[in-house]
Structure 1
Amino acid sequence: MIFGPTPLAQARGAILAHTLRLPDRVLKKGTVLDAEAIEALRQARHEEVIAARLEPGDVPENEAADRMGNAMLRPLVGRSRAATGRVNLLAEAAGVLRVDAGLIDRLNALDESLTLATLPDFAVVGPGDMLATLKVIPFAVPAGALKVAEAMLRGATALSLHPFRPLRVGLVASELPGMKEKVIENGAEATRARVEALGGTLLPPERCAHETAPIAAALGRLHGAGAELLLVLGASAVVDRRDVAPAGIVRAGGVIEHFGMPVDPGNLLCLGRIGPVPAMVLPGCARSPKVNGFDWVLERLFAGIPVPPKAITRMGVGGLLKEIETRPLPRGEAPRTPTGPAPRRPREVAAIVLAAGRSRRMAPLNKLMVMDRAGQAMIARVVDSALASRARPVLVVTGHERERVEEALAGRPVLMTHAEDYAEGLSASLKAGIAALPPEVEGAVVLLGDMPLVTPAAIDRLLAAFDPEEGRAIVQPTFRGKQGNPVLWGREFFPEILEISGDVGARHLTGRHADRLVGVEMADDGVLRDFDTPEALRGLDPVKT
């Protein structure tokens, strides 16, 4: 590949290296320069451009990314389309990701034009989550290097997804005299939440005295009831593999395979089995919903991944959970696979819900007030999705029928602002929302009040992609390549948004700042669908988050 300053006379077919803004158009980075583009450059008094020219044997970035993406496909591992030299590998089910670190290292060392970044080994993922991103460093790959990379990826499994199985789980909760009922109930409930989050079912818990024989009997009853995983939540901490609760596993016909683990909290976990059924004595920290070593073992067992003693002893790297930032968070918000240094503080991104429009196409009805099958107003569905996401604060912009909108949202923890000039069009609502944002927010995701199929998960995916320092300052959802809503805007664009006028939004700014825009592919078309008739909205099923 030839790269560098290129005279316009030699630039036809070359790939533009940097976005250029001309008086009447924007030529984006990666544009293949044709005669029309070159003439526009001449008219703008450019004599040369920084560009790349492919040579024989060079494979264009999207073709190379596409071929490598195909080579990485495995059961339950899907992929996005190739764009700007990038292909994302995506989970098609909830489960545990396994990563061949050695293969990834060899691939990344093959040629500097090929890069592959993945989640950590044993990361827990859900459907649609990104597992890895494969990026060709602009703008081409040597054909020889690409062939070797394809052979490496087809000959071994770089990524494999182990789906969670719907296991039936038995829990024995032992008691000591004077033990508070609330302690027992909290422990059982925390266990139930963990099991159900992984798709399992907790059988009715067995309560018994904290003695070996009663624990063994309770385990036997649960084993006979079809438990595929047995757990003992002892009334006191285990201090030895021959302690009361482990001895109960042995008396029930089982064996203890390992005691202790290099994960804190979670040190006092005891792992055994009764026949082929895994049996564990839980550490005391398992009574809390906060992440601990028990979670790591439980996730692997639900995914059908064996957990021999050697696997537990290898959990020490990354096993210090007590002092990291994720430790105080509720389980639903804390990463399940913390590695490396504590993550930086999440960016503060607000949600602006535009609810000021006059619904001209549905007049005389206000479409935001039309009910779905569950009797919920469309604007309430949109706001509830925003509240269920990580965006904060949630700000609702009112205008037409202000009182009705406020009544429909009564009791919800949202901020309200009124667009006095809402009749001027969409820009008035948008500007009112931007102007009312607290000064500490770093961005805002703008939700339209007539798009009730945008889910909290979709909003959170936009927030996860937002990183102005990395060039991702505008985040837009896509579905099968089509651009949708809501769009997340970094604070740097707020002044331009406040200058917009008329019945338009800020969409035109994405073209002006294409080099700051990133698209995020979504699992469904909810980001494309708005509702302009009462019949369409009444046909909606109750909201699912």
Structure 2
Amino acid sequence: MKEIRTVDAAGQILCHDITRIIRGVTKDAVFRKGHVITEEDIPVLLSVGKDHIFVWENDPSKLHENEAARILQSLCQNDYMEASEPKEGKIELRATVDGVFQVDEERFDAVNGIDEVTIATLPQNMPVRAGTKLAGMRVIPLVIDKEKMEQVRQAAGDRPLLRLRPYRKNVRVGVVTTGTEVFEGRIKDTFTPVLADKLKAFGLSIEEHRLTDDVTEHTSGAVRELVRLGMDVILCTGGMSVDPDDRTPAAIRDAGAEIVTYGAPVLPGAMFLLGYIRQDDRTVAVMGLPGCVMYNDRTIFDLVLPRVIAGEMLTRREIRRFGIGGLCMGCRVCHYPVCGFQH
């Protein structure tokens, strides 16, 4: 491209968009890349502060910002994502399904570490709805060296930088409510309705529900029964603290669960338990939910549940990494997931 005086630009082809900003009214292009400038256009260009403009001249070693953005799109876009058309050198990606958004952090950082290249995304592991904006990308200059974009390709590797894990359909959920006081009817079970509301947000419901007293064998038997009935996720409530008569963690272990963690660096939710029971060709996620899940708006359960529904098997390391950002601020009006909790 080359720079010329605007008053001499009639007949030339713009190589970039010309943007006009009117505060509180509009921010849009008055002329787009490829527009052939006429005499009538010159006063408009001058009115938006363009005394000089850049017009296209072929340079085989350079790429226009829109072409570079297309390269970034190809390196980021994965299944269940749709891309916008380039606008002023920027492309955005949106979700086409509900699910959990994820970024390959190491490769992503390597790409963003290359000068003049920028990609911005939502936070890691954020639950999103179809239509949610996931990422935006562009290069900084109007034209960029082809060689630099080849460096970007090398840094990105051979698979997309971004991923959207869609929620699984027809996930079967069972609940085991523990506690002699609930089992004998001395107090009302107020925990299960909270879980039903949480699951409803994902289009799920509680298919099987068992009540047990504080006897470990009774609780482990209820868990094993729900596994036999084909549950994909089993939620156990009550008995999750360190009191001597709180025996749910032992019951989950006795039911055959491989415990990923009992305890998590998240507040509320430190006494959370996650394990998996392998049954034939199935893997059943089992969670022990502390009482805070019943009376706090957001807890460890809200961080783990979307990923379990999406079919992800979490590791101890991933749970441990919740620690940074794992302190809920208890805002009067909860805006999760658009907040710092976990992210």
**TM-score, length-scaled by structure 1:** 0.53
1:67 to 67, 71, 81: 71
Partner Cα distance (2:194, 2:47) in 1: 68
Q: Is the 8 A contact 1:164 1:304 kept in 2?
A: yes
Q: How far, CA to CA, are the matches of 1:44 and 1:259 in structure 2?
A: 67
Distance 1:151 1:90 in 2: 25
CA contact (8 A) 1:20 1:28 kept: no
Q: Counterpart of 1:62 in 2: which secondary structure?
A: helix
Give the 3-state SS of the residue equivalent to 2:38 in structure 1. helix
Partner of 2:181: 177
| Distance in 2 of aligned mates of 1:180 and 1:289 | 26
Structure 2 counterpart of 1:19 = 20
Equivalent residue number for residue 5 of structure 2: 6
1:287 is aligned to 2:291: no
Higher mean alpha-carbon deviation, 90-99 vs 71-80, is at: 71-80
SS at match of 2:174: strand
Provide closer, same or farther for how the CA distance between residues 339 and 141 of structure 1 changes in structure 2, counting only shifts above 3 A.
farther
| Partner Cα separation in structure 1 for residue 48 and residue 80 of structure 2 | 49
Q: Is the 2:75–2:160 contact (alpha carbons within 8 Å) kept by the matching residues of 1?
A: no
Amino acid in structure 2 at the alignment position of 1:290: D
Distance 1:203 1:44, change over 3 A: closer
* Matched AA of 1:157: P
Give the structure 2 partner of residue 95 of structure 1: 99
Q: Which AA in structure 1 matches 2:337?
A: P
Consecutive unaligned residues of structure 1, counting only runs of 5 or more, are 342-545
The answer to whether residue 195 in structure 2 is matched with residue 194 in structure 1 is: no
Are 1:300 and 2:307 counterparts? yes
Equivalent-residue separation in structure 1 for 2:309 and 2:159 (angstroms): 24
Residue 121 (structure 1) aligns with: 124
* Residue correspondence of structure 1 range 243-262 to structure 2 within 5 A: 243-262=246-265
Aligned letter for 1:262?
P
- Decide whether the 8 Å contact of 1:16 with 1:51 is kept in 2: no
Mapped to 2, the partners of 1:40 and 1:219 lie a distance apart of 76
Matched, 1:265 2:264: no
Q: Which amino acid aligns with 1:288?
A: Y
- Gapped runs of 5+ residues in structure 2? 23-27
Residue 293 of structure 1, CA deviation: 0.8
How far 1:45 moved relative to its partner?
A: 9.8
**Cα deviation code 1:357-405 (max 9, x no counterpart):** xxxxxxxxxxxxxxxxxxxxxxxxxxxxxxxxxxxxxxxxxxxxxxxxx
SS at match of 1:170: strand
Change (3 A) 1:256 1:27: closer
Could you say what secondary structure the match of 1:273 adopts?
Answer: strand
Q: Out of 288, 308, 318, which is 1:311 matched to? A: 318
Query: 2:216 maps to what in 1?
Result: 212
Q: What pairs with 1:311-390 in structure 2 (closer than 5 Å)?
A: 311-321=318-328, 323=329, 325=331, 328-329=332-333, 333-335=335-337, 338=340
| Distance apart, 1:169 and its partner CA | 1.3
Contact 1:19 1:29 in 2 (8 A): no
After superposition, the Cα gap between the structure-2 partners of 1:129 and 1:43, relative to the gap in structure 1 and judged at 3 Å, is: closer
Larger mean CA deviation between 192-201 and 308-317 belongs to 192-201
Q: Which amino acid is 2:312 matched to? A: I
Distance (Å, rounded) in 2 between the aligned partners of 1:134 and 1:64: 10
8 Å CA contact 1:8, 1:47 repeated in 2: no
Deviation of 1:320 after TM superposition, in Å, equals 0.8
C-alpha spacing 1:240/1:117, structure 2 compared with 1 (3 Å)? farther
Contact 2:20 / 2:48 at 8 angstroms: preserved in 1? no
- The 3 A distance-change label for structure 1 pair 158 and 287 is same
Q: Which amino acid aligns with 1:107?
A: V
Aligned equivalents of 1:85 and 1:246: distance in 2? 54
- The structure-2 alpha-carbon separation of the partners of 1:230 and 1:18, relative to structure 1 and needing over 3 Å to count, comes to closer
**Secondary structure at 2:308 match in 1:** helix
- Alpha carbons of structure 1 residues 99 and 37: separation in structure 2 relative to 1, 3 Å: farther
CA distance in 2, matches of 1:82, 1:104: 21
Instruction: Label 1:9 to 1:183 Cα distance change in 2 as closer, same or farther (>3 A).
Output: farther
1:34 matched to 2:36? The reply is yes
Q: Separation in 1 of the partners of 2:41 and 2:277?
A: 78
* Structure 2 counterpart of 1:108: 112
Question: 2: distance between equivalents of 1:61 and 1:169?
Answer: 49
Question: Any conservation in 1 of the 2:266–2:323 contact (CA below 8 Å)?
Answer: yes
Identity fraction in percent: 26
Q: Distance in 2 between matches of 1:27 and 1:259?
A: 55
1:238 aligns with 2:241: yes
Q: Distance in 2 between matches of 1:241 and 1:168?
A: 32
The 5-angstrom pairing of residues 71-82 of structure 1 reads: 71-82=75-86
Quote the residue 2:54 is aligned against: 52
CA contact (8 A) 1:124 1:337 kept: no
Mark the CA change 1:262 to 1:247 in structure 2 (over 3 Å): closer, same or farther: same
Q: CA RMSD in A?
A: 3.5
Structure 1 letter corresponding to 2:20 = T
In structure 2, the residue matched to 1:511 is none
Give CA deviations for 1:79-134 in whole Å, capped at 9, x if unaligned: 1222221111121211111101222222222231x211011111111112111111
Question: Take 2:85 and 2:17, find their aligned partners in 1: how far apart are those partners?
Answer: 22
Contact 1:196 1:202 in 2 (8 A): no
